[in-house]
Amino acid sequence: MATFVASSSTFSTRAAARPQAIAIWLLFMAGLVFAMVVVGGITRLTESGLSITRWDVVSGTLPPLTDAQWQRQFDLYRQSSQYKLMNAGMSLAAFKGIFFWEYVHRLLGRLIGLAFALPLAWFWLRRQIPAGYKLRLLALFALGGLQGTIGWWMVASGLVDRTEVAPERLAIHLSNALIIMAGCLWTALDLIDGDIARHDRPARWVLPVTLLLSVQIVWGAFTAGLRAGHASDTWPLMLDAIVPPGILGSARDAIADPVSVQFLHRSLAYVVAAAVLMVAWRLWRAGAGVRALALGGLVLVQFLLGVLVIINHVPISLGVAHQGVAALLVAATVWAAHWSRRGTAT
């Protein structure tokens, strides 16, 4: 009798699992993180990231509503190095402009936290999470909490003796955001298509291309953090040479010298584009169809945007598009990699 009751309880718990609903929620979360990456790009390119100098998790949810509150925020900003070294004499009206994007960025972060925590608690309490997925969802939630801490750690680096955040912290912040987005997508695809390993499709590309793309994104973050996109505005030559003189004079130049950083980023772009296009061709021949087209098309668009950003002196619109398409390329890589390793027949 006890065995029967236990079996019935197990059956009812499994029957209550809602993999499709959880997958839709995770795809929505991936979309929110993508939006966060785009807004983060706008925040960086408009030099807005250091406009809010306090990390008030609860009270900071509301923007300044009175003249006195606005003046208080402005006074705090005027104590920062960015104001003293770059924006001395800025008006309150101009300050409100840069405050807006940093406020939206932080508000979206709070919304993402709630959009993950509340449904997770709902699915958990109602025993609707399929077996084997609880730990994975908790890990994604923990990464989201860590992202908020990394964000403030990044901002804090720019408040003293500099006009921008530390590029290595920016790289960590962007990388963690894309890891969260990729984790949400992969888990959603596991719930939709299954998580059983496939051995009949080209999959040896997944690890090397993922590593290659990761390195390129990290160097893109260093390029942004050092404003290295302004180091040269010509293509295909850089400073009238294939290899500019004096680059990489030391190992540190790879992450600290704007000319060296841009050279590495744009050079690696050729390698990434060639590798991804070869993978897309193999996936097309293997029947991946739309996935192959998405992967190949996005890497070409990203390469073109990179060139346009350089030759047009890093305009905000193209810079934001470049960061957004990088995130879409990560998503396309996850989609194609899942098909190669675990996807269904379609």
Which residue type does 284 have?
W
Q: Is residue 332 part of a domain?
A: yes
Bridge partner list, 238 = 241
In this prediction, residue 56 carries a pLDDT of 85
pTM of the model: 0.92
- Please state, in angstroms and as integers, the Cα–Cα distance from residue 124 to each residue in 130, 141, 283, following that order: 10, 13, 37
Contact by Cβ (8 Å): 36, 108: yes
End-to-end CA gap in the chain: 44
Q: Which residues form the domain of 175?
A: 13-195
For residue 238, give the 3-state DSSP assignment. strand
* Residues 37 and 186 occupy one common structural domain: yes
Q: Is residue 8 part of a domain?
A: no
* Residues 92 and 186 occupy one common structural domain: yes
Round to whole Å and give the CA distance between 280 and 50: 40
Name the residue with tokens 């709902």: 122
* Residues 336 and 250 occupy one common structural domain: yes
* Residues 136 and 281 occupy one common structural domain: no
User: Among candidates 139, 121, 77, 295, which has minimal Cα distance to 206?
Assistant: 295
* Residues 169 and 258 occupy one common structural domain: no
Name the domain boundary from 195, 230, 245.
Answer: 195
Q: Residue 201: phi, psi to the nearest 5?
A: -135, 155
Name the domain boundary from 176, 195, 214.
Answer: 195
Name the residue with tokens 């960086």: 44
Letter string b/e over residues 121-152, b meaning 16 or more CB atoms within 10 A of that residue's CB: eebeeeeebbeebeeebeebeebbeebbebbe
Chain-centroid distance of CA 151 in Å reads 12
Which residue type does 201 have?
R
Is it true that the peptide bond before 119 is cis, omega within 30 degrees of 0?
Answer: no
In this prediction, residue 345 carries a pLDDT of 57
Question: Could you say which DSSP state residue 229 is in?
Answer: G
In this prediction, residue 8 carries a pLDDT of 42
Q: Residue 120: phi, psi to the nearest 5?
A: -60, -45
In this prediction, residue 310 carries a pLDDT of 96
For residue 298, give the 3-state DSSP assignment. helix
pLDDT in tens, 296-322: 999 999 999 999 999 999 999 999 999
Q: Residue 241: phi, psi to the nearest 5?
A: -150, 155
Q: Cα dihedral angle (41, 42, 47, 50), rounded to 10 degrees?
A: -80
In this prediction, residue 4 carries a pLDDT of 39
Q: Is residue 79 part of a domain?
A: yes
Name the residue with tokens 């934001």: 320
CA angle at residue 139 from 27 to 224, to 5 degrees?
Answer: 70
In this prediction, residue 261 carries a pLDDT of 96
- DSSP string covering 139-161: HHHHHHHHHHHHHHHHHHHTSSS
* Residues 149 and 39 occupy one common structural domain: yes
Q: How many domains does the chain have?
A: 2
Q: Is residue 166 part of a domain?
A: yes
* Residues 238 and 191 occupy one common structural domain: no
Q: Residue 238: phi, psi to the nearest 5?
A: -125, 115
* Residues 26 and 167 occupy one common structural domain: yes
Contact by Cβ (8 Å): 113, 145: yes
Q: How many CB atoms sit inside 10 A of residue 195's CB?
A: 15
In this prediction, residue 283 carries a pLDDT of 96
Q: Is residue 5 part of a domain?
A: no
- Secondary structure percentages of the chain, helix, strand, coil, to 5: 70, 0, 30
**Which value, in Å, is the radius of gyration of the alpha carbons in the chain?**
23
Kindly give the parts of the chain with pLDDT less than 70: 1-15, 344-346
Q: Environment class of residue 98 by beta-carbon count within 10 Å: exposed (0-12), middle (13-18) or buried (19+)?
A: buried
